[in-house]
A and B are shown apart, each in its own frame.
Chain A
Amino acid sequence: MTRRSTLRFAMRGLWRELRSGDALVLFGALAVAVASMTAVGFFTSRVAAGVAREATQVLAADLRLESASPIAARVLARARRDGLRVAQETSFPTALFHGDRSQLVAVNAVTPDYPLRGRVRIADVPYGPAIATTAIPARGTVWLDSRTAAVLGLRPGMSLRVGAIRLRFTRVLAFRPDQSVGLVSLAPALLMNAADLPATTLIQPGSRATYAALFAGPPAAVAAYRTALRAHPDPAVRIRDAAENSRELGSAVERASRFLNLASLSAVLLAAVGVAMSARRWASRRVDGVALMKCLGASQRFVLGVALAELAAIGALALIAGTLAGAIAESGIAWLLRSLVARELPAASVQPIAVAFATELAMLLGVALPPLIRLRRTPPLRVLRRDAAPPRLRHGVVPALALVALFAILWLMVRDSALVVDLAAGVVAVGAVLAAAGFVLVRVTRRFRGGVGVAWRYGLANVSRRGVASVLQVVAFGLGLMILLLLAVVRGDLMREWRASVGARAPNEFLINIRPQDVPALRRALAALGAADTPMFPVIRARITAIDSRPIASLHFAGARGRAFAEREQNLTWSADLMPDNRLVAGRWWTPADEGKPWVSISTEYRDALHLKLGDAISFDVAGEPLTVRVASIRQVRWDSFRPNFFLVFPPRLLDGAAGTEITSVYLDARERPGLAALAQRFPTVTVIDVDAILAQVRTIIDRASLAVQYVSLFTLAAGVIVLLAAVQATRDERRHESAILRTLGASRFTVLSGVAAEFVALGSLSGLLGAAGAAATGWWVAHRLFALRYAPDPRLWWFGILGGTVLVGVSGTLAARRVVGAPPAQSLRAEG
């Protein structure tokens, strides 16, 4: 019994088992897990690689400074002295109008050397062939992207109003190196010459502009300059370089891919159930053979070696097949998300294969190996006494370790321990709830046996008799269907409910950058359009310098939000009255007598992110003036009212000296909207933001992304099918025997098959019911907790769930069991020996 003969035995056995279908389910379970992991892994690795490759390009420079206020001239002068090339870019959103159409665009005003890295690409006509250029728009001209040109009905050569001046649209802007905002580049853009910027009057104190300074040069000079900048950090200025940028984009990719990973992991967990079931069955099918081989002289090492070699070969085949399937499926994800990932993706990395391999190994070691190891101890006595069985495994250590390994992999993929803990708890909780519900349902089917025909009676009897296996299948499919229904039906319902709850006449246009001197005239103009009584709020920008006299730089905040609040400039306002969509949760609102007092009212988000409480002192830098105030009240804000709202509200008269702009929001219906064009011409500094358009854009993103997640969830269903096949296989001998007896008693093939169909139809409708109930419950919870909405599931949910489950499980189960019950009874009865 050499190693060669072990291997030869294993390979011959494997071939037979694959052919007879015994090892096929195990192979399928592993392959589904590998496919779902590699499909998602390949895709995210391609996106990550694409992002990393373009990290310097995306900056359009080697080093980039960004600030909400203009970059100091001495900073630029110093860079020039150090031998660096310098360019500047000012970006802000504004609405463009042409005729009665409008479009919000990101304006980028650049100086002649822009971009320092990468090339701008332009075309002569919208959607025409693009060529690279080193120029920037000449004074008096703009380059506009194809989509905006199409929306506004502009053709090259026409002129358009930008703020207070008219500029000529000369070229179509096809690509800008720094056009991407993180992963997603959606905002249409306009490129103009920085020299034209002052005349537009679009830049006002408090406008939402970003000022960027771009630097490029020899690496040593860039490094020296960066060191010098870091020596005197200015908290208002962000330094971005390629390394930091690719890190940041990388983590954005990670965040974005989280849901895809979660969907694929649910498939992996289900597949692990399939692996456990089929490996058990596989091992138990081998017991007789092993006993005989040992009786004929085989050693324990040999029988274990053969089993391990077979298992390894199945694992290797599954890895190959799963990876191939994953690669094919990946192109599906890439296609679904093609409009969101606006770049050419490079080839995928092989790392996902390693991760899938590790997962496969964990599953095999944890759930497949123990029954095989047990096999080694099969007593040869079994050839004489059927009841001589391998001893039970005493240690649950191996499965426990495998579970730990699975969750470690999970963490690796999601990189968020809270999420992993939640998910683990969720899996256990959902599994337990589904199992309990499944158990009850399975018990209930027993009641229905009285009044139905023989086929149904036989089928339903099987459902309740194979209790544990039935519950397992119901849970497996229920889970897969639940995820799909949640994404396909409940999500849409929730969106509609939310939109309805916001109200038909909720504001749909934001007007920002309103100069105080324009307020009365603008109010009259809006009233003329039909939007009476528009509350205006002053907007002042300020930065936190200290909390309770401790400098903000010395405080640490765990959450990203806390850091953002602490580091970035904040918009704040003052108001005599509490906003109607705000609710006080602590402290009291000020009275007229309190006006001018050094108080502030903060929102609950602010309180949570910065760990604040009533009476805490917050120090601000308001346009260079220090100001320290105490927290007088805490407000719960309903952000989705589409009215201007603020984290920070001050009492009137406290900030009287500070210069700022005003903001308002109005509801205009489709008939009134065109009037905005004239209004924008009269008040060129005002930027109009169309909420509906932004919501539509967000919706497109969510739709696409959730379509991709649904697509990945199909793997969960595939894993469910595997669990079903494993369950059918585990009952194969039993079924063969029963059907032989039934047919010997005179039942037709059709009657027996109808009984089997009845069993799986019952199982399918149960899991569909369960999946729909799970989706409805989750939808209700999300609606209630996250959106404070009332949610009644659409009746379609139940139909989709029950019908989907019935068809899916009924068809696949019946097909799987068909071969077994179809065999001639004589052969089946004889095969039992």
Chain B
Amino acid sequence: MHPGSNGAPLALDAIGLTKTVDSPSGPLTILADVDLRVRAGETVAIVGPSGAGKSTLLALVAGLDTPTRGRVAIAGTDLGRLDEDGRAAVRGRQVGFVFQSFQLIPSLTALENVMLPLELAGDPNARAAATAALTEVGLSARLAHYPRQLSGGEQQRVAIARAFVGRPPLLFADEPTGNLDAATGRRIAQLLFELNRAAGSTLVLVTHDRELAARCDRIVELDAGRVVG
């Protein structure tokens, strides 16, 4: 593992990430030469106005998309040397996600949604672990409910339970409170930070909420595809 500046291993090491896409008016660079190095256990907020490239950066460092230039390593594994299935396997072992739009599967119950990552990893105790995770987020009474029977806040709790259930060392959250009202958003953020601390995992949080960002160890500010602070 690459040592970080303070000696802790790097959970995430991204160097010179550039993403260029084709647009009707020619090639468009939406992310230019961005570095992002995150030590294990660190919490990092990525902030910036809408359209700054936050989600693009997150997609690249999570291996959901490939950079035009640059290099990403998760826990020392170079994603650029892996194919799509290889990157998926790394995500399955190392990464948990929380999304703005929850991304629950509508035809699965809350419990089944939370079981999903464990089942994909072939964990025989998926059910018990998922039940425990849902109890931790306060939804022990809603196990058999479908997403459409749950409020937005409850859906995001399910998503958080799903993100933590496999005990991934690295967590990505893209605007986790963006679809929620202020009060609910605060409660969800609280839950996210608590669980993250308890699990000792690394958190990379995309938000445009300054207050939320301020709770992180470090803030990376993006504007127009470049790191500005």
Contacts and interface: CB of A to CB of B under 8 A. Distances in A.
Contact of A297 (B55, B93, B106, B147): B93
Nearest to A19: B107
B133 to A, nearest CB: 14
Contacts of A827: 148
Contacts of B117: 296-297
B88 interface: yes
Most-contacted residue by chain A among B89, B105, B107, B117 (CB, 10 A): B107
Contacts of B108: 16
A379 B85 contact: no
A297 B118 CA distance: 10
Contacts of A231: none
B174 A380 contact: no
A296 B162 CA distance: 10
A16 B121 CA distance: 22
Contacts of A384: 55, 58-59, 64, 99, 174
Contacts of A5: 119-120, 122
B101 interface: yes
Interface in A635-691: none
B218 to A, nearest CB: 22
B136 interface: no
Contact of A380 (B55, B64, B116): B64
A298 B65 contact: no
A383 B148 contact: no
A16 B109 CA distance: 11
Interface string A295-307: 1111111100000
Contact of B55 (A9, A289, A385, A831): A385
A831 B93 CA distance: 31
Question: What's the interface size class on B, roughly?
Answer: 20 to 34
Contacts of A297: 88-89, 91-93, 117, 120-121
A431 B92 CA distance: 49
B164 interface: no
A833 B102 contact: yes
A827 B148 CA distance: 7
B127 to A, nearest CB: 13
A515 interface: no
A379 B120 contact: no
B107 A20 contact: yes
A381 B103 CA distance: 12
Given A297-B93, A297-B120, A384-B174, A833 B101 contact: yes
Contacts of A300: 84-85
A383 B105 CA distance: 12
A384 B91 CA distance: 15
Contacts of A296: 91-92, 97, 116-117, 120
A383 B64 contact: yes
A608 interface: no
Contacts of B116: 292-293, 296
Interface string A574-602: 00000000000000000000000000000
A380 B117 CA distance: 15
B166 to A, nearest CB: 9
B85 A295 contact: no
A830 B148 contact: yes
Interface string B122-149: 1000000000000000000000000110
A299 B84 CA distance: 8
B120 A1 contact: yes
Most-contacted residue by chain B among A20, A300, A827, A833 (CB, 10 A): A833
Question: What's the interface size class on A, roughly?
Answer: 20 to 34
Interface string A1-42: 110010001000100110010100000000000000000000
B146 to A, nearest CB: 9
Nearest to A285: B107
A831 B101 CA distance: 12
B59 A381 contact: yes
B28 to A, nearest CB: 14
A294 interface: yes
Contacts of B88: 294-295, 297-299, 380
Contact of B64 (A2, A302, A379): A379
A379 B64 CA distance: 7
Interface in B145-179: 147-148, 155, 174, 179
Contacts of B174: 384
Nearest to B100: A384
Interface in B40-69: 55, 58-59, 62, 64-65
A831 B105 CA distance: 11
A12 to B, nearest CB: 8
A299 B64 contact: no
B97 A383 contact: yes
B122 A1 contact: yes
Nearest to B93: A297
A704 B97 CA distance: 67
A292 B148 contact: no
A295 B122 CA distance: 16
Interface string A266-297: 00000000000000000000001100111111
A520 to B, nearest CB: 92
A519 to B, nearest CB: 88
Given A295-B91, A297-B93, A383 B120 contact: no
Most-contacted residue by chain B among A297, A302, A833 (CB, 10 A): A297
Interface in A416-444: none
A298 B120 contact: yes
Contacts of A20: 107
A299 B85 contact: yes
A1 to B, nearest CB: 6
A267 to B, nearest CB: 31
Contacts of A22: 107
A386 to B, nearest CB: 8
A1 B122 CA distance: 6
B105 A289 contact: yes
A285 B105 CA distance: 11
Interface in A185-241: none
B195 to A, nearest CB: 18
Interface in B68-120: 84-85, 88-89, 91-93, 97, 99, 101-103, 105-108, 116-117, 119-120
Most-contacted residue by chain A among B88, B119, B147 (CB, 10 A): B88
Most-contacted residue by chain B among A1, A17, A22, A295 (CB, 10 A): A295
Contacts of A383: 64, 97, 99, 103
A827 B102 CA distance: 17
A148 B76 CA distance: 98
A1 B64 CA distance: 20
Contacts of B64: 295, 379-381, 383-384
Given A297-B91, A381-B59, A384-B174, A292 B105 contact: yes
Nearest to B118: A296
A376 to B, nearest CB: 10
A16 B97 contact: no
Contacts of A385: 55, 59
Contacts of A289: 105, 107
Contacts of A298: 88, 92, 120
Most-contacted residue by chain B among A9, A20, A298 (CB, 10 A): A298
A302 B116 CA distance: 13
Contact of B85 (A16, A17, A293, A301): A301
A17 B106 CA distance: 11
Contacts of B147: 833
Nearest to A383: B103
A381 B65 contact: yes
B85 A831 contact: no
7 contacts: A2-B122, A293-B116, A296-B120, A299-B85, A299-B89, A379-B65, A380-B88
Given A300-B84, A301-B85, 7 more contacts: A5-B119, A288-B105, A293-B116, A297-B88, A297-B117, A300-B85, A383-B64
List the 10 closest pairs (A to B, CB-CB), nearest first: A297-B92, A299-B85, A831-B148, A380-B64, A381-B65, A381-B64, A296-B117, A16-B107, A297-B91, A384-B55
